[in-house]
Structure 1
Amino acid sequence: MTISLQFCNITVNDVDESVAFYRDALGLQVRNDVGSGGFRWVTLGSASQPDVEIVISEPHAGRSRADGDTLQKLLTKGVLPMLVFRTDDLDAAFEKAREFGAEVMQEPIAQPWGPRDCAFRDPSGNTVRISQAPAA
């Protein structure tokens, strides 16, 4: 048996603003944009990993009013799970995200457990980390 990640969901406040961040600051490609009932789900992915995608949507998309309200509160508090991306050039990725205007949480540093990484907040406040494996 084999198993692999297909996609993960990211909750955002503004789909268009978030598409711009993940596309323009992080270099992901828009693969699908689906609307239903006044909401949108946008799928993005990396050219280097064609089988792994992220899906962004608003808190109330496809959820009950109560569940959407709860998710919105968690998003506003900044406590939803973080995303961690991997790159082969952390400094270039950091500069591109910073030039885009992403809120820097941590500049690139070498972590005691090995990789170098940095951290940002996306336009909705989600934590996004970018990691680079240590040089061999």
Structure 2
Amino acid sequence: MTVTRIVANLNAPNPAELAKFYMDVFGLDTPLDMGWIAFLASSATQKIELHAASEGGSGTELPVISIGVDDLDTTEAAVRTAGAQVIYGPAQEPWGLRRFFFRDPAGNLINVVDH
């Protein structure tokens, strides 16, 4: 058996509204919107990862997902412009990555990281 993908499902009272937020901030596409669920996608590929953790590191709350980006400062600006609250960082972590956390419009805690 081979795992072919792992998908994060964010709780959203209004999936289309939350999808628009992620489209605006991260430049994602919406290939499918069924009303009760909106799929967000990118043509980029990555390896499959699933993390198990008791906290978010550096004593922080555990985020529901982590989003890797190639320009943390530009992404932070986009998050703030979109009206989301950055609640941690940006921080250079002792284990070698730079990141920040924000709460999306539905209240989900998101980790944005630049390796």
TM-score (norm 2): 0.77
Aligned residue among 101, 110, 113 for 1:128: 110
Aligned residue among 25, 39, 43 for 1:43: 39
TM-score (norm 1): 0.66
| Aligned pairs, number | 103
> Aligned to 2:91, what secondary structure does the other structure show?
strand
User: What RMSD, in angstroms, separates the aligned Cα atoms of the two structures?
Assistant: 2.4
Distance 1:10 1:19 in 2: 10
Q: What amino acid does structure 2 have at the position aligned with 1:10?
A: L
Change (3 A) 1:106 1:80: closer
Flag the structure with higher helix content. Answer: 1
Larger radius of gyration: 1
Identity %: 33
Per the TM alignment, residue 80 of structure 1 is displaced from its structure 2 partner at its CA by: 8.8
Partner of 1:7: 7
For structure 1, the 5+ residue unaligned runs are: 53-78
- Between 1:122-131 and 1:10-19, the stretch displaced more is 10-19
For structure 2, the 5+ residue unaligned runs are: 49-60
